[in-house]
Amino acid sequence: MTTEVELETQVSHRSEEGLLVASDPDEVYYENNKKRSWLVVLGSFFGLLPVWGLANSIGVIQTQLLEYELSGVSTTTVSWIFSIYTALLQICMIFSGTYFDRHGTRLPLIAGTIMMTGSLLGFANSTKVYQSILSFSGVGIASGILSSPLMGAVSQYFPARKRATAMALAGNGGCVGGLIIPTMLRKTYVSLGFAWSMRLLALISFVCLVISIFLVKERRVVEAEQMSRKDTVIFYLTKSFNFKALRDDRKFLFCVLGCVFAEGTVLVTSSLFSFVCIKNGFSSSQAYLFVTVINIGAVAGRLLSGLLADVFFGSYNIIIFLLVITAVFNFVVWMPFKSSPGAMYTYSILYGTFYGGIYSLIPTCCSMIVKKEEFGANYATMYAITGLSLLGLNPAAAAIVGNGTSNKRTNGFIAYASALSLLGAVCISLTRVLCVGAKLKKF
pLDDT tens sequence across 257-306: 999 999 999 999 989 999 999 999 999 889 999 999 998 998 888 888 98
- What's the whole-number mean pLDDT along residues 158-167? 82
Looking at the predicted structure, is the pLDDT value of residue 14 above 70? Answer: no
- The answer as to whether 4 is a domain residue is no
Domain-located, residue 225:
no
Q: How confident is residue 376, by pLDDT bands cut at 50, 70 and 90?
A: low
In this prediction the pTM is 0.84
Q: What's phi and psi for 304, nearest 5 deg? A: -65, -45
Looking at residue 351, its pLDDT comes to 96
User: What domain count does the chain have?
Assistant: 1
Domain hosting 106: range is 29-218+241-436
Would residue 13 count as lying in a domain? no
Query: What single string gives the DSSP state of each residue in 140-197?
Result: HHHHHHHHHHHHHHHHHHS-HHHHHHHHHHHHHHHHHHHHHHHHHHHHHHHHT-HHHH
Least trusted range by pLDDT, from 1-5, 236-240, 337-341: 1-5
With a CB cutoff of 8 Å and minimum separation 6, the contacts of 398 are 75, 76, 78, 79, 272
Residue 105, pLDDT > 60, answer yes
Q: Which residue has the higher pLDDT, 187 or 307?
A: 187
Average pLDDT over residues 380-404: 88
Q: Is 17 part of any domain?
A: no
Burial class of residue 297, CB neighbours in 10 A (0-12, 13-18, 19+)? buried
pLDDT band at 174 (very low <50, low <70, confident <90, very high): confident
In a domain, 159, yes or no: yes
CA atoms of 217 and 215, how far apart (whole Å): 6
CB 402 within 8 A of CB 273: no
pLDDT of residue 21 exceeding 70, the answer is: no
* Percent share of the chain, pLDDT over 90: 59
For residue 442, is it within any domain? no
Q: What percent of the chain has pLDDT over 70?
A: 91
CATH number at residue 133: 1.20.1250.20
Q: Is residue 143 assigned to a domain?
A: yes
- pLDDT value for 205: 98
Q: Report pLDDT for 225.
A: 67
pLDDT tens for 110-134 read 999 999 999 999 999 999 999 999 9
What residues have CB less than 8 Å from 301, skipping those under 6 apart?
175, 322, 352, 353, 354, 355, 356, 357, 358, 360
- CB atoms under 10 Å from CB of 299, counted, come to 21
Residue 107 confidence (pLDDT): 95
- Does residue 170 have a pLDDT over 60? yes
- Provide the mean pLDDT of the chain: 88
Residue 5 within a domain: no
pLDDT of residue 16 exceeding 70, the answer is no
b (16+ CB within 10 A) / e for 174-212: bbbbbbbbbbbbbebbeeeebeebbbbbbebbbebbeeb
Contact 369, 252 (CB under 8 A): yes
Maximum separation of any 2 CA atoms in the chain, in Å: 70
Confidence of residue 315 (pLDDT cuts 50, 70, 90): very high
Residue 340 has pLDDT above 50, yes or no: yes
In the predicted structure, residue 323 carries a pLDDT above the cut 70: yes
